[in-house]
Amino acid sequence: MGQEIQLIHFKPEDFAEFGSRLADETELMAKWLSLGRFSGNAYVGGFELEAWLVDPNFLPTPNNQQFLERLDSPLVVPELSKFNVELNGTPQALRGNALSAMEIELTETWQNCLRVADNMGSMLILIGILPTVRDSDLSLTNISPLNRYRALNAEIIKRRLCQPLRLMIEGDERLALLHEDVMLEAATTSFQVHLQVPAHLVVRHFNATLVLSAPMVAVAANSPFLFEKQLWHETRIPLFEQAVDTCCESRVTFGSNYLIESPVESFIDNMQRFPVLLPIDLGDDPTQFSHLRLHNGTIWRWNRLLVGLDEAGYPSIRIEHRVMPAGPSIIDMIANAALYIGAAHTLANLQLAPEECLSFNLARSNFYLAARRGLEAEVYWLDGRQWSVRELLLSELIPMAHSGMQQLGIANGDIEKYLGIIRERVKSGQNGAVWQKSFVARHGRNFSKLTAAYFRHQLGGRPVHEWDI
């Protein structure tokens, strides 16, 4: 979905032609995987970070086009709405000081963004759901002026038979409303970690990622409010799932099963279960996997596989771990990435695969419970026991992450720094969601005041477990 397209409206023959090419590329992918033609060596990490542009009253300000022109950085690109942008990091080989290199680069990018935004009378905030966002902000008036977004909106509305979206979230409070377009998606901003591993190890790492999704969404939760309602600890999860619902199927899901033998299973599932939304003619060369990549980009599993091409044209597969929200601070997000990368590596290399010990249905139910309850959740684990997420993190997952990063060759200083932040966050019980809820409990439902205090702490750079209320 990162590439621009030329058309907004399509003919039936466009869908038929795209479907044929998608099938050919999926078949070629299966063949190349069996022949070992996908990249088989590297362990590489990266990320995407979505952010909000806001005005002095902490309301969304739809000026990303002017902001991006002034910033002029290849690492910062448009998002669905005019008040969101996406910050990217240079992929890092997972060894040595890779994590601190990510933090240094992201900090520099963010500070440049803050400087440009300030010169425009704006600010840039990293938060899962902006507490001050209003339903009226999420309208087509504020959609970014790119054909791919307008075409996506048109196709989803067409598949809903022009019926409005019905949003319903039951949390601490209840939110129910109707919405006409896909712009609710713009309220869900994420910190997405990318993990590339040798192709023959993708199945094990992907399944480990599914197992880890519950504790990861719990420890990182930072989205408790939407339209002044207190809902889930990570309200992004139900909001995004419902925001692009087409009535026939949700294109945002936890998935349908673990992988069994090959990564291509996920792409076959995408082809068979999800109708094509954007049937663009992307040329005749199946070795570019262009149609497969575009179709995959319109299906937002919370963990999904992405196909990429290196400079020499060789394909690779990476895991995109999408469960974590933006914020609260840069160091918090890099710590989250460290926990995920290290724990996934350990789980993927266990003698007994974790998916043999925890059913997919339990992994999925764990995930939604953790999104709803955050660090207060209790989830099932590999031993068949039900654990509190906090106990699981302290007793099992942080040690696993430590071991996994050591195996990868991550510098001890990085390991201790970032896992130390996770450990203290879990001990304190204060992640971003808990801080926001505690602030409102103490100061009342002044969401501008909440956002101002949040932004002040974010500028300070300290991890969220150190933030005062």
How far from 394 is each of 134, 391, 416, CA to CA, in Å? 38, 5, 14
The β-bridge relationship of strands 44-54 and 191-196 is: antiparallel
3-state secondary structure 164-209: CEEEEEECCCEEEEEECCHHHHHHCCEEEEEEECCHHHHHHHHHHH
pLDDT of residue 4: 46
Tokens of 392: 């699981």
Q: Where are the domains of the chain?
A: 12-455
Looking from the CA of 207 toward its CB, the CA atoms found within 13 Å total 27
- Count CB neighbours of 391 within 10 A: 12
pLDDT of residue 6: 56
pLDDT of residue 248: 67
Contacts of residue 417, Cβ cutoff 8 Å, sequence gap at least 6: 100
Q: Which amino acid is at 30?
A: A
Dist CA 220 CA 127 (whole Å): 11
Inter-helix orientation angle 360-373/236-243, to 10°: 110
Strand partners, 54: 60, 123
Dist CA 323 CA 336 (whole Å): 11
Contacts of residue 20, Cβ cutoff 8 Å, sequence gap at least 6: none
Element (H or E) spanning 305, and its range? strand 303-309
- Quick one: CATH architecture of 12-455? 2-Layer Sandwich (3.30)
Dist CA 24 CA 47 (whole Å): 30
Dist CA 182 CA 261 (whole Å): 35
Classified as helix, coil or strand, 276 is coil
How far from 463 is each of 284, 329, 355, CA to CA, in Å? 49, 6, 33
CB crowding 227-236: b at 16 or more within 10 Å, else e: bebbbbbbbb
**CA angle at 363 for the pair 232 and 229, rounded to the nearest 5°:** 5
Dist CA 358 CA 366 (whole Å): 10
Give per-10-residue mean pLDDT for the chain (469 aa): 57 94 97 90 94 98 97 96 97 97 98 98 98 96 86 82 87 95 95 96 98 98 98 98 79 95 97 92 92 95 94 88 98 98 98 97 98 98 97 98 98 98 98 98 98 98 98
Which phi-psi region, left, alpha or beta, contains residue 51 (left: φ > 0; alpha: ψ -120 to 50)?
Answer: beta
Q: Of the candidates 285, 264, 291, 106, which has an alpha carbon nearest to the alpha carbon of residue 200? A: 264
Dist CA 436 CA 469 (whole Å): 9
- Count CB neighbours of 160 within 10 A: 17
Count of residues for the chain? Answer: 469
Give residue 64's Cα distance to chain centre: 20
Give me the phi and psi of 226, to 5 degrees please: -145, 125
Contacts of residue 10, Cβ cutoff 8 Å, sequence gap at least 6: 151, 155, 278, 279
pLDDT of residue 7: 54
Dist CA 454 CA 459 (whole Å): 9
pLDDT of residue 395: 98
User: Is 418 within 8 Å of 335 (Cβ atoms)?
Assistant: yes
Dist CA 125 CA 121 (whole Å): 14
End-to-end CA, the chain: 39
